[in-house]
Chains A and B, each alone.
Chain A
């Protein structure tokens, strides 16, 4: 709060020795660094906007919508649009508040208060990083249904409640499994892998899976509920946004699932492979790239912010700043921490909401 220092006339201010801004070198440099960092993030978000506008011009592919892409909660499944990311936003806002309280305590030379609020800030930072780890995991692995390419070449996202897979009953033996064996473990993973590789088939109205060892099994699966397909990509712009529901959706989805061709169903956005993120569940390749880059770059800032906060906290505990007579270092790391929150406010709007 440099404004509270002595009021000086402009001749003294600009005459040398005094800082015209009435603030220390360190704080000024932190601000300049933050401006340059803000330009980096601004550039990233603007290039995101560029790509989104560019892709949208042709009208044959819809850019993913945040509320459809991010609608899951840990342990509770899906159907909670944006709640998780709102929670992440709230965590970051709260940790920003505890940081500003630490700065305020520093202005009263209240060492205990600074320690208390800085610890709270660091905990908030770890919570945010953990949340982001879960979100990345979820984004990488995708939903239960995945994205589906229909018989006419259009692509649709799928909504609804996935009927649980109960077991695979082997009907034709392979290297590992004998006829009659019931497989009850790792079902979802094997099912999705088979779906992507075109190893699911419909045989006399029974869903069959061809397993990795060459054996074939009947899939026992509960019925999906409220299945809806929404067309996101089609050569004909008029079909974009079209919905299939009920029995029609069921028919079209399982037709694609059991077509025997590869990549008719895509789950998540995989890091590895020939076509990195090109085959992702959500939309254009650039969407997945921007997701990982922007949230990753921001997450890296959060991580480094937590590390810097810990270093400064050690300084506070050792009494370094108390001896110095002021807690400006806490103020400076606070500036960085608030900046991280500030960036997230924009990422939240332009990546998740709009």
Chain B
């Protein structure tokens, strides 16, 4: 039975060989980028000690590189970049709002809890 209330959106998602070539090229470019960023991360992690004075800088660069990698995975590999703007916002905005809030609250409270333990002691 054919239902007229179901629209097969994926039927419009096809592309030809020529377009496919372009997409594949982009995929390989992103692959190279992800690999290079990972290599840089490992090199920094292995050679710069946490006691070194530039460690805070390295730490933040890790976080930036991670977000960069995550961005490419979500936008290119998961095709979120090709979806409708509203779908993108629907997924990313609530998540980021909630996570930033959670990170702020948890790390802030951790210091307070740690100080309470240090001051009043535990077993």
Pick from A39, A107, A335, A342: contact of B15, CB under 8 Å: A107
Residue of B with least CB distance to A350 = B66
Instruction: Count A-side interface residues using an 8 Å CB cutoff.
Output: 74
CB contacts under 8 Å to B, within A327-354, are: 327-328, 331, 334-335, 338-339, 341-342, 345-346, 348-349, 352-354
Complex interface bits, B34-46 against A, C-beta within 8 A gives 1, otherwise 0: 1100110110111
User: Contact: B5 with A353, CB < 8 Å?
Assistant: no
The answer to whether B102 and A57 touch across the interface, beta carbons within 8 angstroms, is no
List, in ascending order, chain A residues with CB within 8 A of B14's CB: 107-109, 326
Are A82 and B46 in contact, CB atoms less than 8 angstroms apart?
yes
Report the bound CA distance from A51 to B69 in whole Å: 26
Binds B, one of A12-20, A193-201, A277-285: A12-20
Q: Contacts A23-B84, A89-B38, A349-B41: A331 and B10 contacting too (C-beta < 8 A)?
A: yes
CB within 8 Å for A349 and B63 given contacts A57-B115, A96-B77, A338-B78? yes
B117 touches A57 (CB 8 A): yes
Contact with A along B58-99 (1 / 0, CB 8 A): 010011011001100110111100111011001100110011
- Report if B24 contacts A (CB, 8 A): yes
Q: Is B11 part of the binding interface, using a Cβ–Cβ cutoff of 8 Å?
A: yes
- Decide if A54 is an interface residue (CB 8 Å cutoff): yes
Within 8 A of B (CB), among A80-136: 81-83, 86, 89-90, 93-94, 96-97, 99-101, 103-105, 107-109
CA distance A47 to B106 in the complex (A): 7
With A46-B102, A352-B45 known, 10 other A-B pairs at CB within 8 A are: A4-B82, A5-B13, A23-B84, A31-B87, A66-B45, A89-B38, A96-B77, A107-B15, A109-B14, A335-B78
